[in-house]
Structure 1
Amino acid sequence: MLRLGFPTVGVADLERAVRFWTSALDLVDSPEWASDHWRTLEHADGSGRALGLMLSESPAERRPRVHLDLVVDTTAEQEAEVARLVELGAEKIDWDDYPPNPDFVVLADPDGNPFCVVDLSRAPSN
C-alpha cells in the first residue's frame, strides 16, 4: 500500500540544518538511515519521523512549488515564533506576493529554503 512519508528538505550544510530544524521544531536527530548525505529527524516525544534532510548541490528555489507550513494558533504565537526562528538562523524574506492582511510570514532556513509560519486564527474561512 502506498503511503505518504514525510517531507524532505535539500540542504547545503547538513549539520547546520540538523541544528536549525531540531531546535526550531523540537525534533531529535535519529540514527535511522544517517549518513554523510542524509538525516532523519523525529518527534522528540517518540511519535515517529517528522522531517528528512538531504545533502543537495542544487540551490534553494526562491519560490518552490512545495514548501513547509509551520502553524501556530494566535498572532502573538506567530510573532514570538518568527522572532525565535530568526534568532536560530532563519531569515525574513522580502516577499512581494503577500495578499492583503496575510495569515502567514515567509522565512528562509539557513540554507535559503523558504517556509511559512501560519497563524491559524487568521486563516481564511469558507
Structure 2
Amino acid sequence: MTTSRIGTVVMGASDVGRAAAFWKAALAYVEREPAEDDWVVLVPAEGHGVGLSLGRSGPDSPVQEVPRVHLDVYTEDQEGEVARLLGLGASRVDWPHYPPDPDFVVLADTEGNRFCVIDTTHG
C-alpha cells in the first residue's frame, strides 16, 4: 500500500524573489534548486521537513483577508520571534477574530499572505 505525505505547501506571490528572501530568512530554508522568476521550492537547510513552494500569482489571485489555509510558525519565544519576523519585512495584521487568550499572533509576509506565530509554551 502506498502512503502519501505533504511534500510542500504552495503560496502565491507577486514577487517570488522577495517572498523567497523573506521565507528563507524566516525559516532557515534554502532553495532546492536555483529559483526561476516565477517559481521556487524552499526546503529546510537541515534537510528534513515540509518544503515551501512560491509561485507567481497575478492580480486575479488577491490575498485572502481570512485565508482558508495558512502557515503556523511555532516558537517558544513568541515576542522575540514576532519582532524578528517584523524586522525581516513581515507586518502585523489587524485580526478581529482573536479568542480571549490567544496563543497566536497573526502576521503577513512581504506578499500579504497571512501566517500565525504560535506560542508553544501557552497552555
The yes-or-no answer on 1:46 pairing with 2:59 is no
Greater helix share, structure number: 1
Match of 2:100 in 1: 100
The two structures have a TM-score, normalised by structure 2, of 0.89
1:122 alignment partner, SS class: coil
Q: TM-score normalised to the size of structure 1? A: 0.87
Cα pair 2:9 2:50 within 8 Å, conserved: no
For the residue of structure 1 that corresponds to 2:82, the secondary structure is helix
Q: Does 1:71 find its partner at 2:74? A: yes
Runs of 4+ in 1 over 6 A off after TM superposition: none
The one-letter amino acid paired with 2:55 is: M
- The number of residues matched between the two structures is 119
Aligned partners of 2:7 and 2:27: how far apart in 1? 18
Task: Name the residue aligned to 1:60.
Answer: 63
Say if 1:40 and 1:49, in contact at 8 Å, map to a contact too. no
Aligned-residue sequence identity (percent) comes to 49
TM-align CA RMSD = 1.5
In structure 2, relative to structure 1, the CA distance for the partners of 1:103 and 1:18 (3 Å cut) is same
**Contiguous gaps of at least 5 residues in structure 1:** none
**Distance apart, 1:35 and its partner CA:** 2.6
